[in-house]
Structure 1
Amino acid sequence: MKKIFSILTIGSLFLTSCVNGDEDFNNNQSQPYVVSAEVLFTNAQKELTDQMITPSVNLNVFRFMQHYLASTTYRNDARFIFTGTRRVPDNMWLALYTDVLGNLDEAKKGIAKETKPTAMTEQVWQKQQANKLAIVNLVEIYTYQVLVDSFGNVPYSQALKPETIVLPKYDDAKTIYEDLVSRLNVILSTLDSGYPSFTSGDNFYNGNVSGWITFANSLKLKIGINLADVNPTLAKQTVESAANAGVITANSGNTLFQYDSTSPNFNRIYAEVIASGRQDFIAEEGIVNSMNSLNDPRRASYFEAMSDGTYVGGVVGLANIYDENSSIGEGLLSPNEPGVLFDAAEINFYLAEGAARGYSLASPAQVYYENAIRASMQYWGINSADIATYLTSPNVAYSAANWKQRIGEQAWIAMYNRGFESWNFYRRLDYPTLTAPNATPAADGKVPTRLTYPINEQTVNGANWTSASSAIGGDKLTTKLFWDIN
């Protein structure tokens, strides 16, 4: 799919030129067509999903951080060396600010320019347009949370305003989080399922406003649970209100981007593993050994078995031999396999954590915990008998005394194909126990707790980069986010 965005959406973060007073400065005289809000919205959804699920070592290294994958060729990325030629933080920053937020910003401008069809009443038109804007803002909020959870303080209030602000300041991450909660509350009061929204262009929910309301509450729940250790009062209030209003608890409500079977719109895992013709990735021994010890029935989907039927993993940070280890399983390699932004397993684990923390929710922690595991296994086609057996295993059965360990370890297994979300669970709960013996010295021999700011920001937006780095305690891989206080 063609990347569609105005040059204006790049400027506030990456251009070095000054603001030009010429009224024609930003007019693209050669632009052959006006892109619809629907096309821009679709493209933003795809670019966001691509970034979150791709195993590309140029864009997404969270599967290395979480001991899901090891490398056979590009060892530096698996050692968390991000400042070389690949510049992973730069690429992720650019993808989210330009390809996602840029397209969303242009989509909102497009919605504002749309005209009412003659046959539609003014009331329906106003409600439809309000729903559209609210939905676009939901994806924007999701994207900003990913940015905060990746880097800490980031451009927010001054971002995406290149006409007036070329070098935006970085906002305080905690303040951004609080504003995201406020924005979600406004959106939830705006969305009206009795009226339409997008009739095309929405790959996630096909314009179903009820689905987007559930998405909004699930996002609110996710943000709330991240605040649990740093702002218990707001966390409890946010989690309870989101859960009571209705979140994604069954796989039928998962937020999925449906890829095509043909290039360039097929699933990004397929693109990097199959279509590329390369053998760069194998399963990592951390996840393989853990699932082996539990006799986890999802192994057949997650990994390709060796000739003797066993599953073997390599070591993250080393140059492993492809044929001596299990590769990525066929269950993840269909070209049209949907990309996942939210699923029932993730949300039920959040609910389990909230209940374990004493929040007033509809069910006890054990119920949500088991529902999370059940949802994950059902997604991968595991039968009911095997699920029941797994849930009663001594090292799986819920333990109120060790709830952080139980939820952390089982969320880690369930999030195998969702490295970024797994990283959030790990940083918040401190489980499972992960080591990084081959990590770059810059990571102090540990799994990074954040990404460093892009090199380009240091050179282009230096004053704001310096201020932000100082505010968070240093632009280092080992600096913790504001909500990661344990």
Structure 2
Amino acid sequence: MKKIFSILTIGSLALLTGCVNGDDDFNNNQTQPYQVPAELAFTNAQKELIDQMETPSVNLNVFRFFQHYLATTIYRNDARFNFTGTRKVPDNMWLALYTDVLGNLSEAKKIIPTEAKPAALTQLAWDKQQANKLAIINILEIYTYQVLVDSFGNVPYSEAAKVETTVLPKYDDAKTIYADLINRLNALIPTLDTAYPSFETGDNIYGGDVAEWITFANSLKLKIGINLADVNPTLAKQTVESAYNAGVLLTNSTNALFKYDGTSPNFNRLYAEVIASNRNDFVAEEGIVDAMNNLNDPRRPSYFTAVPGPGGGYVGGTVGLSNSYSTNSHIGESLLAPNKTGVLFDAAEVNFYLAEAASRGYSVGGTAASYYNTAITESMAQWGVTGAAVTTYLADPNVVFSPANWKQRIGEQAWIAMYNRGFESWNFYRRLDYPVMTAPNATPAAEGKIPVRLTYPINEQTVNGSNWSQASSAIGGDKLTVKVFWDIN
């Protein structure tokens, strides 16, 4: 029944594998799914989350169009923000996050308490390890709910994982969800104990390193806190300062990276959608290309291919129009390696948050300019740019940090640094209102603007109609132009 799966059942059905069993009672309960190890459910949740955040598929992730990173050679409607036709992008993203990510995390949480203690471990060591596992699962769950709130506004939360009792869950107030996510992090972080392990297998981000997950959790707390800066300055300041003081991700050595193995079906999603699929659908968009050309940005060879011919250089197409594949730059080859890691957090992102926090007067240990410069430097290092090229770039008058125009400087440089992270870039853009971007080819539903939220899935309207209607009214209408609660400027 589709309505059962419209909000979070168990995404691990895709994980289940058969086996041969000669026992007489093997087929007695053919409706009972096999129980998979918690590690496998957790790995799958990580992969589904990274896949969703990184894929360029026009059926799943359109934030690179929002942010003028990519344009299309065909399928113009996707780049004009028409998401309710055959694509149903909101439906697909909703299903991916609720079922494939949260469903697997929910399953893992159910399995862990049933696991048997190895004889070699003391009860205390086993209890600590299991508690670490559960805390890490919950942290990734919080990350996923933050993405859902930032995408749609009010969403199912308190009733979302209770399909045994609630088939059609209510939508919770987004502001209330945010507050609870902070409370949950505050409660979870102290329970993580670095004296004990967590996942010995199955954690494809940090390999079960509890200290790294503590840093991740604090960075997530920082991210949620900074989003509240305009709508709830007191809570934002308190949350950001608390996260910083506890230790956040500051260097690339602790980036949260998912390790694709480079074999089918575990390719990096850009490789899967461009190279493995033999598609010529995407070209670089003129907004990001022109901005980086004007700054002589040394990351361009990593971000884009040069156009053929004696002139070379980097040229972008126009979002929302059909563009020539042969005369525009393409996605850079460094982004298309089959085993390129996927990113959930990186040092550039976190340092930009701290630059913003310092600009707002929060106490975060450094100046806005120092964090801003570090963010750019860490971004450059990710793409192999170091030394004099970075120094020259930072000295450009159009790059040098300006306290009087901090929103513009941070917004523009975060936009460039987040080139392969469209969703995070969209958050910076909505919060800071920079860079200034237009959408002249947008569908009428977007009212000629870059969308500031995704509309709710069509399936929710037809299956969970009463709750959908209440949620739509509560946020001011189910439109691409209705802002999420923290986007008040």
**What TM-score bracket applies, with the shorter chain setting the length?**
over 0.9
Report whether the alignment pairs 1:217 with 2:211: no
> Following TM superposition, by how much is the alpha carbon of 1:401 offset from its aligned partner in structure 2, in angstroms?
0.3
Partner of residue 369, structure 1: 372
Alignment of 1:157-236 (within 5 A): 157-236=158-237
Partner of residue 287, structure 1: 288
> Following TM superposition, by how much is the alpha carbon of 1:466 offset from its aligned partner in structure 2, in angstroms?
0.3
Return closer, same or farther for 1:271/1:459 CA change in 2, 3 Å cut-off: same
Separation in structure 1 between the aligned mates of residue 55 and residue 203 of structure 2, nearest angstrom: 21
8 Å contact 1:11–1:162 — kept in the other structure? no
Match of 2:485 among 467, 482, 485: 482
TM-score (norm 2): 0.94
8 Å contact 2:260–2:266 — kept in the other structure? yes
> Following TM superposition, by how much is the alpha carbon of 1:277 offset from its aligned partner in structure 2, in angstroms?
0.4
Alignment of 1:237-252 (within 5 A): 237-252=238-253
Return closer, same or farther for 1:437/1:431 CA change in 2, 3 Å cut-off: same
Partner of residue 110, structure 1: 111
Report whether the alignment pairs 1:334 with 2:365: no
Q: What amino acid sits opposite 1:252 in the alignment?
A: S
Return closer, same or farther for 1:201/1:9 CA change in 2, 3 Å cut-off: farther
Report whether the alignment pairs 1:34 with 2:29: no
Alignment of 1:295-444 (within 5 A): 295-307=296-308, 308-444=311-447
Q: What amino acid sits opposite 1:273 in the alignment?
A: V
Partner of residue 66, structure 1: 67
> Following TM superposition, by how much is the alpha carbon of 1:451 offset from its aligned partner in structure 2, in angstroms?
0.1
Alignment of 1:78-157 (within 5 A): 78-157=79-158
Unaligned runs of 5+ in 2: 11-27
Separation in structure 1 between the aligned mates of residue 6 and residue 332 of structure 2, nearest angstrom: 41
Q: What amino acid sits opposite 1:317 in the alignment?
A: G
> Following TM superposition, by how much is the alpha carbon of 1:396 offset from its aligned partner in structure 2, in angstroms?
0.2
Q: What amino acid sits opposite 1:268 in the alignment?
A: R
Separation in structure 1 between the aligned mates of residue 33 and residue 395 of structure 2, nearest angstrom: 62
**% identical equivalent positions:** 74
Instruction: Say which SS state the counterpart of residue 259 (structure 1) adopts.
Output: coil
8 Å contact 1:288–1:313 — kept in the other structure? yes
Q: What amino acid sits opposite 2:486 in the alignment?
A: W
Instruction: Say which SS state the counterpart of residue 340 (structure 1) adopts.
Output: strand
Return closer, same or farther for 1:480/1:388 CA change in 2, 3 Å cut-off: same
> Following TM superposition, by how much is the alpha carbon of 1:397 offset from its aligned partner in structure 2, in angstroms?
0.4
Separation in structure 1 between the aligned mates of residue 179 and residue 138 of structure 2, nearest angstrom: 16
> Following TM superposition, by how much is the alpha carbon of 1:318 offset from its aligned partner in structure 2, in angstroms?
0.3
Separation in structure 2 between the aligned mates of residue 12 and residue 222 of structure 1, nearest angstrom: 25
Aligned length: 470
8 Å contact 2:133–2:198 — kept in the other structure? yes
Return closer, same or farther for 1:104/1:8 CA change in 2, 3 Å cut-off: farther
Q: What amino acid sits opposite 1:10 in the alignment?
A: F
8 Å contact 1:197–1:208 — kept in the other structure? yes
Separation in structure 2 between the aligned mates of residue 193 and residue 444 of structure 1, nearest angstrom: 51
Partner of residue 53, structure 1: 54
Q: What amino acid sits opposite 1:221 in the alignment?
A: L
> Following TM superposition, by how much is the alpha carbon of 1:320 offset from its aligned partner in structure 2, in angstroms?
0.7
Cα displacement string for residues 231-278 of structure 1 (whole angstroms, at most 9, x for unaligned residues):
000000000010111111000000000001211001000001100001
Return closer, same or farther for 1:332/1:28 CA change in 2, 3 Å cut-off: farther
Separation in structure 1 between the aligned mates of residue 33 and residue 9 of structure 2, nearest angstrom: 25
Separation in structure 2 between the aligned mates of residue 403 and residue 311 of structure 1, nearest angstrom: 28
> Following TM superposition, by how much is the alpha carbon of 1:306 offset from its aligned partner in structure 2, in angstroms?
1.1
Separation in structure 2 between the aligned mates of residue 267 and residue 11 of structure 1, nearest angstrom: 27
Separation in structure 1 between the aligned mates of residue 63 and residue 94 of structure 2, nearest angstrom: 15
Cα displacement string for residues 151-170 of structure 1 (whole angstroms, at most 9, x for unaligned residues):
00000000021111010000
Separation in structure 2 between the aligned mates of residue 348 and residue 279 of structure 1, nearest angstrom: 35
Report whether the alignment pairs 1:10 with 2:5: yes
Separation in structure 1 between the aligned mates of residue 32 and residue 384 of structure 2, nearest angstrom: 48
Q: What amino acid sits opposite 2:5 in the alignment?
A: I
8 Å contact 1:13–1:166 — kept in the other structure? no
Separation in structure 1 between the aligned mates of residue 334 and residue 396 of structure 2, nearest angstrom: 25
8 Å contact 1:10–1:102 — kept in the other structure? no
Q: What amino acid sits opposite 2:122 in the alignment?
A: T
Return closer, same or farther for 1:388/1:183 CA change in 2, 3 Å cut-off: same
Q: What amino acid sits opposite 1:102 in the alignment?
A: G
Partner of residue 452, structure 1: 455
> Following TM superposition, by how much is the alpha carbon of 1:331 offset from its aligned partner in structure 2, in angstroms?
1.2
Instruction: Say which SS state the counterpart of residue 343 (structure 2) adopts.
Output: strand
> Following TM superposition, by how much is the alpha carbon of 1:33 offset from its aligned partner in structure 2, in angstroms?
3.2
> Following TM superposition, by how much is the alpha carbon of 1:14 offset from its aligned partner in structure 2, in angstroms?
8.4
